[in-house]
Amino acid sequence: MDYATIMVHLDASRHVHQRLHLATQLALEFNAALVGLLAAGNPDPKAIRYFADGDRYLASYKEWHRQIEDCGRQAFEGATKGTGITTEWRAPECATVSSVQADVHLADLLILGQRDSADAEAFAEDHFVESVVLHCGRPVLLVPYAGRFSSVGKNILVAWNGSREAARAIRDALPLLLRADHVHIVSYLRPGILRDPWLSPVEHAVQWLARHGVQATHEEPVLNGGGDDAGKLLLSLAADRDADLIVMGAYGHARLREIVLGGMTRTLLESMTVPVLMSH
C-alpha cells in the first residue's frame, strides 16, 4: 500500500502555506498526485432569504469566494510549480462538510489544518475538522496552527490501546511508518482496570509492524487519570522524544447535532504541538 493521491484542504486561513509545504513534501516522497481542495464555506441561507438586501449579500459572497479561490489557486500552483507533481484543482462554489467528505474519497490521505479560533478567515462551519476526521473514511493528517514543520514522519510516536481505531491507524499510516527512521509505540496501563478481551496488547502491534518491515520500540507507562491526562502525557512524550508525527485512532460519534469525542482525541485536536495522523 502507498499514498497514490494526497488531498490538501485549502481555505482563506493564514496557515494554508504550512499545509501546502507538507503536502508538497509528501507528494514528492510518495510520487503521489496532489489534489488541492478549496473549501471556504458557503453563504448563510438566512441572510439571502429573510434580509431585504439578500441579493447584495449573495453577490458580495460570490466576489469574496472568487478572490479566495484566486489566492488559493495561486498558492497551490506556486507550491507545486517545477516539482513535477501531478496536480488537480477542485473548488466547489458552495462547499460544506459533507461535500468535503465526499471529495476526500478521491484520495488516500487528507491534509487538514487544526482549527484556530483566532483565525476568522478559516473554514468556520461547526465541527468541521471533527466531522471530517470521523466520517470521511480516510486517514487525516492534521497540521497544528502553531509552529513550523519542515518535514513529517521521520520520528513517529504511535498511540496504541488495542482497539479497532488503533489498528486502523497503524494500517493507514504504514507508508509513513515504513519510511521512518524511528517508530515508538506507547500503550498506557490503567491500574485496577481489566483489559477488554477485544483489545489487543501492544505486542500485537509490534509484531504486525515487524512483519511489514517496521522495527518499533514500545513502552507501557501507568496512567492513573482519564483520557485527557493520556492526551497530555502523549504530547509530553512526543516532545521528549522529538517526534515529528503522532499516529493514533480517532474516537467519537455524532449525537443530536453534536459530536462527542474521546478524551485523548479531544485533547490532541485542541492542543496538538506536532502533526497528528488520525484514523477512525
- What is residue 109's predicted lDDT score, i.e. its pLDDT? 98
- What is residue 64's predicted lDDT score, i.e. its pLDDT? 77
101 and 80 together in one domain: yes
Query: Is pLDDT at 12 greater than 90 in this prediction?
Result: no
Is residue 212 in some structural domain?
Answer: yes
Which range has the worst mean pLDDT, 61-70, 127-136, 202-211, 238-247? 61-70
125 and 14 together in one domain: yes
Last residue of a domain, one of 122, 143, 164: 143
Count the alpha carbons within 13 Å of 171 in the hemisphere toward its beta carbon: 12
29 and 135 together in one domain: yes
- For residues 75 and 24, is the Cβ–Cβ distance under 8 A? no
pLDDT digits (tens, 9 = 90+) for 121-144: 787 677 889 999 999 999 999 999
Mean pLDDT for the stretch of residues 223-245: 87
Query: Is pLDDT at 227 greater than 60 in this prediction?
Result: no
271 and 209 together in one domain: yes
Query: Is pLDDT at 155 greater than 80 in this prediction?
Result: yes
Mean pLDDT for the stretch of residues 156-169: 96
254 and 181 together in one domain: yes
107 and 169 together in one domain: no
135 and 22 together in one domain: yes
Is residue 149 in some structural domain?
Answer: no
Domain that holds residue 129: 5-143
Last residue of a domain, one of 143, 170, 193: 143
Last residue of a domain, one of 143, 164, 198: 143
Helix axes of 128-135 and 263-271: crossing angle, nearest 10 degrees:
130
| CATH at residue 268 | 3.40.50.620
Query: Is pLDDT at 24 greater than 80 in this prediction?
Result: yes
124 and 30 together in one domain: yes
Is residue 255 in some structural domain?
Answer: yes
Is residue 193 in some structural domain?
Answer: yes
Q: What's the structural domain count of the chain?
A: 2
The whole-angstrom separation of Cα 103 and Cα 100 is 5
135 and 9 together in one domain: yes
- pLDDT range class, residue 118, cuts 50, 70, 90: confident
Is residue 148 in some structural domain?
Answer: no
Higher pLDDT, 193 or 38: 38
- What is residue 256's predicted lDDT score, i.e. its pLDDT? 46
Mean pLDDT for the stretch of residues 269-277: 95
Is residue 62 in some structural domain?
Answer: yes
Query: Is pLDDT at 95 greater than 90 in this prediction?
Result: no
127 and 211 together in one domain: no
Mean pLDDT for the stretch of residues 101-119: 93
13 and 127 together in one domain: yes
pLDDT digits (tens, 9 = 90+) for 175-211: 999 999 999 999 998 876 767 787 999 999 999 999 9
Mean pLDDT for the stretch of residues 141-154: 94
Is residue 150 in some structural domain?
Answer: no
126 and 200 together in one domain: no
- What is residue 224's predicted lDDT score, i.e. its pLDDT? 79
Is residue 98 in some structural domain?
Answer: yes
